Each structure stands twice: as structure tokens, then as C-alpha cells.
Structure 1
Amino acid sequence: MTDPQKESTPAWLLWTERALAAAALFVVAWVLATSWGGIMHSHPAYLLLLIGTVLVAVVVGVATLLWRRRSHRGWRRILRIIGAVVGLGWIALIAWLCPFSAMEPALTAMESDDAVTVTETPTLITFAPSSGASDVALAFEPGARVDPRAYAAVLRPLAEAGHTVVIIKQPLGIGFLALGSFDAAKEQDPTATWAIGGHSLGGTVAAMEAENAADTPVGLLFYASYPAGDMSAFPGSVLSISGSNDGLATPAKIEASVADLPGTAKFIVIQGGTHAQFGAYGAQPGDGAPTITADDAREQITAHTLDWLDSLAPSR
């Protein structure tokens, strides 16, 4: 007599699991094909997730062939249905986490020369001036899901002028997962006085780091960004650079942040600039349309940042 708690696995469940396994492999292949450089030069956490996704997809695909004629108790079937729902969400997450890969001129700016030595590790990119180093260095948090190399062309000139610059590679490209990385950045130049900044979500995370750091940074830099809460008592220098045509960190949001920052904070607007023009990673969904060239925007952003860094401390 057949156990009423045992039933053959329904065909729809088997084919759902096979389809999800195939979809996972397709998404991983698509991500690798379209963002290989961004993946290989970002924090390794995302690459490890992709590898894990492939392994699980293969196991699930093979298992559905072995389970084809097996019977399972009702609770096991429920677990498989839950697993299918979770798998669908996981595939969507893996696709969403695909980074915006760096483009020129950022890629060329990653090359070392007589003026700047570029060092890359799994968690940091360091631009070290070859001579005439300044007392002030900058740690920088990228925007969400942005290849950290995308900021090289904006930030490299700061190193050419004598400031050590460290770009932090965030796990999965999410700044909140990089909290605490400021200390690792400071180890790249232990004798320097450090400022911290970031773009978009990276700027918000930089502000959190500035508030909680054991040694308060001498300065806080926002690129198309603002703090998550009240930082009006922050004792260091604050510079906010934004774009008038930014569709994400809009002028209204930047204006609203004035009350959360010290009265001495300096606000600069790049007329015609957009959110994505603070890096070199292509267009970004939801952003506005620029009315100035990327080169013009980048030159203005770099010049204002350099003036600010130079003002924080005298050269050695």
C-alpha cells in the first residue's frame, strides 16, 4: 500500500528547478561577459558569490535528474518550493549586483608612471605620489555597485599634486559593507593626516566613518552625496561638490543637507553636471542629462577637490 505522505515529484517542480538552474548559469555568464573588468578589479566577494552560484546551479540541475523518479515526503516538497522561491530572488540579486565597469579615461589613469605609483590589492587601490608628498591623504568610498577604478581619472591628479589617495573596494559594491575600512586605508600612509570622502552612497558611508573613527578625519568630502543624519558638529572641514543636472542626488537633496553639515561647509555646484560624471562608468539609470562634457566636469571636480585638500595642511 502506498504511503500517503509519499508522492512522486510533480513535473512542474522539476522543470521549475531546472529552469532556475539554467537561469542562474545564464545570469552568471551574462555578468562575466559584460562586466569582467569590473568584477576582477572590485572586492572579491562578488566573484565568490558568482562561483558559489554556479556550483549550486550545477548541483540542483544534476539533482533534478536523479530525483525524477523518486518519491518524497510532503515536507521535503515544501522545502524545495521554498528553495525555488529563494533561488529566484538570489538570481535577481546576482544580476542587480553587477557592477558599472570603469571606462576610459579611468583605465589609463590606473597605470603607474614616474609621478604616481598605482598599487592594487583585493581591497584597496592606492595612488602614491613619487615625490613631494603632502601631509594630507584622502580615503575614498565609491558609489554603490561602481567599479572602484572608475574614479581613477578624477582622483589621480590629486596624487600627482602630492596627496596619497586610497580608493576602498567595497564588498559587493555596497558601501555599508565596507564600514571600518578607513583604518586599512590609513595604513597606506601612516604619517599622513587623513581626510575621507565618497561618491553617492559612498559619501554617506564616508560620513559614518568620519563620525565613528578613533581619529577624526581632518576633512570630509561629498561627491553628489550627503550624510544620513545630523553632522553639524563635525569639527573638520567639509566640501560638497554636486551637479546641477543630477537626477539622483538632486539639487533639492543637496540643499536639504545644508542643515545637517557645519556652517563652515563649502558647497560647489558643477553647472550642467550629472551623477555619473563624478566617475567614468557610463550612464546610470535615473540620472539627469548632462549639458557639459565629461572632461569638463571631471576637470572642475578635480580642481575643486585639490584646492580643498591643499587648504587642509601645509606641504611637508
Structure 2
Amino acid sequence: MNDSAPTDRTGDPATPDLAPAWWRWLVLAVAAAGLLVVAWACLTEWGGVVHGHPAYAVLLAVTALGGLLVVWRARRALPRRRGWRRALGIALLVAGVAWVAAVAWLRPLSAVEPALGAMRSDAAVTVTESATRIELSPTGGTSPTGVFFQPGAKVDPRAYAAVLRPLAEAGHTVVITKQPLSIAFLSVGAFDGARGDYPDVERWVVGGHSLGGVVAAIEADDADEDADAPAVGLLLYASYPAEDVSDSLSTAVASISGSRDGLSTPERIEESRADLPADADFTVVDGAAHAFFGDYGTQPGDGTPTISQDAARQQISAASVEFVDGIDEALGD
């Protein structure tokens, strides 16, 4: 058995063909960035990570494991890659950078008070939470009209507990869905899945905030003529449909917006009148910003409010209850 070291053609020991040191450090930097992003998300938005859809927690775990594996693999000099292997290595590095950036961008906005307090059950409302939804159920008489709600992008679903709780106190079952990665477009179909789980709810108002409202409009438009548990209302919080549903949507519509919204601006809300049925009801909360439709702190790009969030929340909740109760009255319940 020959235990001698490999040699080149001259008989001298072969020099390992290694990648440049800067490449190794670049790979390590991307891996370290991934680990730092995981730590940052967990330390700053732990509530949103734990109480959101489990998809983001899984994404963080995969990122952490991948980062640790890369660090372990790169603890020694890396071999030089040539040809297609080199191209693959570059592609993987670029993909790693994009992955880390996406994980950072998807960091949720965690719920704050009074939403956290509204997540507790009392004599009027029972609150239950699962991996995919939050349910606010009235303990007394229950209306046949339920409310299914799509949160805004990257927002902890618990953030809407306080603003929607008055609907449950008024007798309406409220279901807040948890979207994969907190993106509403990844939750298309959640309404259909929820309807079968609530046989006592005969009809639904589908609502949503911001991007969640865009998806809510799609879901309401698809379900407004269903024979079983149809959509009878569309409740938009600082939102508008992505396309014209003025002729296809047969439900009642309520659009509630803020005059100081820097994202779903008053101009965009006004323009959405042409895309909604002619009898859609528009309510503008004077002085309210985009983030006032949930309790999750400030939001980048939002406007500067001129009223308190408590005052805005009270108006939003009151308009919501009036809208849903009005549907019951119109249908004779």
C-alpha cells in the first residue's frame, strides 16, 4: 500500500488547486449574513414569527441550517471550480444572496397592544388560534353572517384582533387567516377551506387590509353566486381590487380608508370607485394612516396621522359593524 502524497509529473508533491481566498470569504460572508438575518428576525419580531403561519419559521430554520452547513464546509480552503462547476458555484452564490434578502424582506410586523389584549377570551368572545387561522367567536347569539379576513402583507394576523373584535361582540363569527409567508396571494383558496369548517355560518363577508383586500376582492367575486355559504359582502380596509369587478361582483361593498394613508392613498381609493359596484359604500376616516387598520406599529412609506390610533380604530370598527349588521337586516335576519 502506497501512503505517499500525490505528486505532479516531475515527481514533486502536487500543489492543491484551490479557489482564491476572496471567494471563500465571500461565501462565508453570505452564510454569515443569513445567520444574522435569522437572529435579527427572531430577536425583533419573535411574536410575529411564532404566531404567524409556520412557513416563515420553517424558512428561518432552513436558512439557519444552510448557513451553518456552509460555514462548516468553508472552514478550510475551497477547491477551485472550472467550467460548468464554476458557473454553478456563481449561480448558487447569487441565489444565496437573493434568498437572504428575501428572508429579511419577509420579516413580519408583530402585533402590539391593544391587539394582544383582544386575543384573550372573555364572557362575550371566545378566541382560538391554530397554525393557520385565528377565530373570534361570540359566546351568545350568533348571526348567520360570518367575516373572513385577509391580513395585509407581512403583518402578524393577531394585529387585527382589536379592530375586528367588535364584530364578534355583535354576534358575527370572525376568522382571520394566517397566510404563508404573510403574503395574501399565497393564501388564495383559504376562504374556500374555511367555509367548510363553519357549517353554522350561512353566508360570509370577505374582508382584507391592503394586499389582503386585493385577495379578498378576488375571493368574494369568485364566491358571490355559490349556493352554499356564499360571499354576500366585501369589506376593504385601505384597499381596492386589482381589476374591474364593477359588473361581475354582486355583493355589498364597504371601502374604509384613511385620509393620511401614504400607501393606499386617497387618490387611489377614489380611483377604485370605477372598479367597484356603483352602490359601494365609501367611508374615509379623517386623519388615519395605513397602519391604523391593524395594531403593528408604524409602516415604512406610510403617511403621518393627525388623530390617535384609538380614535381611528373606533371609527373603523363601528363602520365595519354597521356594514355587516346592515347585510343581516337586508336579508331579514
TM-score by length of 2: 0.91
Opposite residue 138 of structure 2, the aligned amino acid is P
Name the residue aligned to 1:161.
170
**Alpha carbons 2:109, 2:154 under 8 Å: kept:** yes
Correspondence 1:206 to 2:221: no
Correspondence 1:26 to 2:40: no
Name the residue aligned to 1:297.
312
1:259 is displaced (CA, Å) by 0.5
1:12 is displaced (CA, Å) by 1.0
Contiguous gaps of at least 5 residues in structure 1: none
Structure with bigger gyration radius = 2
Name the residue aligned to 1:10.
20
Correspondence 1:307 to 2:322: yes
Name the residue aligned to 2:86.
77
Structure 2 counterpart SS, 1:117: strand
Name the residue aligned to 1:146.
155
Q: 1:313 to 1:289 in 2, by over 3 A?
A: same
Distance 1:188 1:292 in 2: 39
Name the residue aligned to 1:94.
103
Name the residue aligned to 1:57.
67
1:188 is displaced (CA, Å) by 4.1
1:10 is displaced (CA, Å) by 1.3
Instruction: Give CA-to-partner distance per residue, 1:134-161, whole Å, 9 cap, x none.
Output: 1110000000000000000000111011
Q: Percent identity?
A: 55
Identify which of 98, 101, 114 aligns with 1:105. 114
Distance 2:236 2:78 in 1: 60
Name the residue aligned to 1:226.
240
**What is the correspondence of 1:180-199 to structure 2 with a 5 Å cutoff?**
180-192=189-201, 193-199=203-209
Opposite residue 63 of structure 2, the aligned amino acid is T
Identify which of 283, 292, 295 aligns with 1:268. 283
Q: 1:76 to 1:65 in 2, by over 3 A?
A: farther
Distance 1:65 1:243 in 2: 53
Name the residue aligned to 1:46.
56
**Alpha carbons 1:7, 1:73 under 8 Å: kept:** no
Q: Which has the higher contact order (CA 8 A, sep 6+)?
A: 1
**Alpha carbons 2:258, 2:285 under 8 Å: kept:** yes
Distance 2:78 2:260 in 1: 60
Distance 1:239 1:277 in 2: 17
- The list of structure 1 runs, each at least 4 consecutive aligned residues, that deviate by more than 3 angstroms after superposition, is 69-74
Q: Could you tell which deviates more after superposition, 97-106 or 81-90? A: 81-90
Structure 1 counterpart SS, 2:149: strand
Distance 2:123 2:264 in 1: 37
Distance 2:213 2:162 in 1: 18
Q: Could you tell which deviates more after superposition, 297-306 or 227-236? A: 227-236
**Alpha carbons 1:210, 1:220 under 8 Å: kept:** yes
Distance 2:240 2:80 in 1: 57
Structure 2 counterpart SS, 1:242: strand
Name the residue aligned to 2:139.
130
**What is the number of equivalent residue pairs in this alignment?**
312
Correspondence 1:174 to 2:183: yes
TM-score by length of 1: 0.95
Distance 2:324 2:283 in 1: 15
